[in-house]
Amino acid sequence: MVKALEGKPYKERLMSLGLFSLEKRRLMEDLIVVLNFLTRGSGEPGTDLFSVVISDRTLGNGMKLTHGGLG
């Protein structure tokens, strides 16, 4: 532990070190896993919940998701 942070509350120690709380780090990890699943799929045929459709009819990014992997 850093000596200068001894006795400070948890939130102050996190702010001093520039870290997020454990709850926010877990949420961020979950969001990364979901993003990876949506962009790469599960790797097993027939188990993907969504498929990516390339389209020029979306605002901004040119990709959208369709349900059921039917593209």
Local confidence pLDDT in tens for the 71 residues of the chain: 678 889 999 999 999 999 999 999 999 999 998 888 777 766 665 566 666 666 666 666 666 666 664 44
Q: What 3-state class would DSSP assign to 59?
A: coil
Q: Which amino acid is at 10?
A: Y
Q: Determine what percent of the chain falls in helix, strand and coil, rounding each to the nearest 5.
A: 40, 15, 45
For residue 71, the model assigns a pLDDT of 42
What's the whole-model pTM score?
Answer: 0.52
Alpha helix ranges (H) inside 1-71: 10-17, 22-40
